[in-house]
Amino acid sequence: MIGILFSYVGESIIEGVNGCLRGIGRTKVSLQLSLLMNTIYLLFNFLFVTFMHLGVFGLTLSLNISRYSIAVLAIWTLYRNRAHFGLNFKTLRHVDWGLTKRVLKVSVPFAAESTFFNGGKIIMQMMIVTLGTVMIAANAIASSWIQLSEIIPNALSVALVPIVGQCIGRNNIGDAKKLTKSFLGLGTLAFLAVDLGLLPFFSIGMRLFAPAPATIPIIFHIYLVVIVMHALFWSSSFVLPSALRAAGDARFTTVVSLISMWSFRIGFGYLIGIVLGYGIFGIFVVMSSEWAIRAIVFQLRFHGGRWYRNKLI
């Protein structure tokens, strides 16, 4: 925990620079930084863990080396592209408080949403812990397997922010709507391709985790539920809010996400999974049902006209 917390400063620098690079269309440079960071992380993991047998300390040491080395490279990359940002010492010495306030209007609600959303996920983990070690293992394996199909849609969610932001900045609402719909469609197609592609390899994948035999049917049933909900609702639940935030509608997405998380996912998750005894399968059903609620609300917002009327800059 200490090692990971110490690495957050480096990660924040990298994420900040990557966000800036994506904003000016330099997504290739952002990708190169991320790939290089993960390559360094893997190489030092082999060195510290496999050869030097440093265990968990080796993992955290390699994490910090990779993040801080790329943080230095990211700052140099930002300096090399300073002409595109209009960066000079004069602008760095004088803060534009009006612009900063408008930026914080979007970023603070999003940060609060992330904080409370992850807090809700911790509470969900606390519920699962009470179900015993077999269910803890099933949850960890199911989550890892499910996240494989969420890689591409998560990337689409990140990429959509600067795209919609630039459309809104040019007051081109039509392109913002069209591109958002395209990304939602791409997210759905990605889920269908990856989820259905992974399904025949489920048994092989489970051997890599070496789970207890009793957990495999539970994981499989969870995965079947998630496959359906991924294709139907995940993109509208997580990709679409990126477009709304990019247009300055961050407060709405934050309120909806927090209400759905704390009232439905946690409340009904405890009722169905713990009180009624449906266990981890019931918790996953409630979690995926919460995606549906978020998706419906965000779609209604998107098809209205209020989400793009927030003039930030």
Please report which confidence band the pLDDT of residue 306 belongs to, taking 50, 70 and 90 as the band edges.
confident
Q: Are 128 and 140 spatial neighbours (Cβ–Cβ below 8 Å)?
A: no
Tell me the CA distances in angstroms from 89 to 24, 82, 94, one per residue in order: 20, 11, 9
More confident residue, 91 or 52: 52
For 232-243, how does the pLDDT look when each residue is reduced to its tens digit (9 = 90+)?
999 999 999 999
Tokens matching residue 76: 């140099």
pTM of the model: 0.79
- pLDDT, one tens digit per residue, over 141-193 is 999 899 999 989 998 998 898 889 888 888 889 999 999 999 999 999 999 99
Average pLDDT of every residue of the chain: 88
Domain ranges of the chain: 2-94, 98-302
Closest of 292, 295, 257, 15 to residue 113, by C-alpha: 257
310 has pLDDT over 80: no
- The model's pLDDT over 203-224, given as tens digits with 9 standing for 90+, comes to 998 988 888 888 899 999 999 9
pLDDT band at 311 (very low <50, low <70, confident <90, very high): low
Give the pLDDT confidence score for residue 27 in this predicted structure. Answer: 78
The pLDDT of residue 245: 87
pLDDT tens digits along 73-119: 999 998 888 777 777 767 777 777 887 887 787 778 777 777 777 78
pLDDT of 186: 95
How does residue 312 score in pLDDT terms, banded at 50, 70 and 90? low
